[in-house]
Amino acid sequence: MRGRRHACILREPGSTPPWPHFPARASIFRVSELTPALIALSARADEALERVLPPDEQPPVELHRAMRYAVLGGGKRLRPLLVHAAGAAFGAPPERLDAPAAAVEIIHAYSLVHDDLPAMDDDSLRRGRPTCHVVFGEAMAILAGDALQALAFEVLADDALLDVDAATRLDMLRTLAAACGSQGMAGGQAFDLAAVGHRLTPAELERMHVHKTGALIRASVRLGALAAGCTDADALAALETYGHCIGLAFQVRDDLLDIEAGTEQLGKTAGKDVAANKPTYPSILGVEASREALAALTAHALASIAPLGLRAEPLRDLARFVADRSN
């Protein structure tokens, strides 16, 4: 994964779209809610997270309570679902996918805890509840994030039901580590902080979100395939393209929701990016062009996994869900 480059598929407002063969938004099948099968997998992910998190009565109690608060407070569980969907496409049983699914969600939760801190995005609401630092204090929230990051790697390294060989497990650990670091989420957050108050080009905006949002989404898809024993280079490349596209689509939809939905619907503070003078897809491309980009990214994601046939249907459902979600 590290070092792989993706061409920018967005454009300056008013220029010719680089996706002439992709369908318009209206022709993309809409899935605003998860399918029953994906809802069941989401519940399975919650059960796995409950098992691997420290009990809240185990010392240090306040730290463990903060960790559990951050992870178990709801959420779409998109990243665990991507692990399960990709793994199932290559024949992995669900129990082999529980550990990588839990690991990516724990990493995601840690990133949200740190992202919400006053030194970062300074948000007081997440998933319809006060953010971790509001409830437990900034110091404990920082420690909770640190401990969650470590726990994710422990889970991925130690789970006995993840019956893969040592080389594959190392590849999975490397994949997750790369998604977290300076070429992944942390780097994306650095780009984000540096971008406040500046007008970015579409390519610069895409670079930021390929790191900040997209890295862990791409890693989730790859981890599922690796857990299933997939070594086919073409299949892994197709999944990389799929993850790249839905990672960007997720952010485009997020930016549109930030200006179109209310705080109660989102479960977080609406309009905050605009108020903070942060670059977003609507502010750079315009609202209508952002919707077109969302449709194009979704179509490209679907096209990339077409060779996988019916076994990739959950991946298709997730791509459509990302494009049409309401929060």
What is the reported pLDDT for 102? 98
Q: How confident is the model at residue 260 (pLDDT cuts 50, 70, 90)?
A: confident
Q: What is the pLDDT of residues 28-65, one digit of tens each?
A: 333 348 999 999 999 999 999 999 999 999 999 999 99
Q: Is 126 helix (H, G, I), strand (E, B) or coil?
A: strand
pLDDT of 294 higher than 50: yes
Task: State the pLDDT at residue 271.
Answer: 63
Tell me the average pLDDT across 94-103: 98
Residue 314 has pLDDT above 60, yes or no: yes
Other beta carbons within 10 Å of 50: 13
Count of C-beta atoms within a 10 Å radius of residue 321: 22
CATH architecture type of domain 25-324:
Orthogonal Bundle (1.10)
At 5, give phi and psi (nearest 5°).
-105, 145
Among residues 201, 240, 192, the alpha carbon closest in space to that of 220 is found at 240
Q: 266 pLDDT exceeds 70?
A: no
Indicate the average pLDDT of the chain. 89
Q: What integer is the mean pLDDT of 9-31?
A: 37
Band of residue 19 on the pLDDT scale cut at 50, 70, 90: very low
Q: What is the mean pLDDT of residues 198-222?
A: 96
Q: Is residue 9 pLDDT above 50, yes or no?
A: no
Q: What is the tens place of the pLDDT at every residue in 234-249?
A: 999 999 999 999 999 9
Return the domain boundaries, the chain.
25-324
Residue 129 DSSP class = E
Tally Cβ neighbours within 10 Å of residue 58.
10
Lowest mean pLDDT, pick from 152-166, 197-211, 269-283: 269-283
Res 197: pLDDT: 87
pLDDT surpassing 70 at residue 262: no
**How confident is the model at residue 269, as a pLDDT?**
65
